[in-house]
Amino acid sequence: MVFGLTICGLPNKVIQVVNPILTAEALDYMEWKHGLRNEALVTTVQGYFQKLATSITSWMSGMVLTWINYIPLTDSLGNAVPQTDPGILSGIWAVFCILPGLARGLYGLSFLFYNIHGDLQQQMIVELAEKRAARLAEQNEKTAD
């Protein structure tokens, strides 16, 4: 069980590493394509969608627990008792492993449409470096006058 939960949790850590890299590449792409680098806009939109995803995930977790007819078991003193019904346990497993796994699979599929790699990425890096160097030289000329 612990091994299974560890495997189910690995994509969460991979995403925590990949997200800042993807954000930086998206900012570079926006600057390269439109000549404008707007970290505030991207960060705001990213934060909004993270909150939206958290809300939807919380709602779905509650709905799935309702759909599987989960009722917390308690003893005569009101203490929680471990759930033993196989149907409930399977439903709980689905909430914490299957649904996140499917969501991560869809997240992975989105990378099929991610085009900032290879030659395009190298071209973008070179052109941005040239634009930034030209901008810096222009600023240095203005301050020298």
pLDDT tens sequence across 86-139: 888 888 888 778 887 888 888 889 889 999 999 999 999 999 999 999 999 999
DSSP state of 113: G
Confidence check: pLDDT of 76 > 90? no
Q: Cβ of 28: how many Cβ atoms within 10 Å?
A: 16
- Give yes or no for a contact between 121 and 25, defined as CB atoms under 8 angstroms apart: yes
3-state DSSP percent of the chain in helix, strand and coil, to 5: 80, 5, 15
129/62 Cα distance (integer angstroms): 49
Domain boundaries, the chain: 2-71+82-137
Per-residue confidence band for 15, with pLDDT thresholds at 50, 70 and 90: confident
Confidence check: pLDDT of 1 > 70? no
pLDDT tens sequence across 18-59: 888 888 999 999 999 999 888 998 889 989 999 999 999 889
- Residue 55: its pLDDT value, please? 95
- Give yes or no for a contact between 64 and 99, defined as CB atoms under 8 angstroms apart: yes
- Give yes or no for a contact between 92 and 82, defined as CB atoms under 8 angstroms apart: no
Geometric angle at alpha carbon 139, from 135 and 143, rounded to 5°: 170
Helix (H) or strand (E) holding 39: helix 39-67
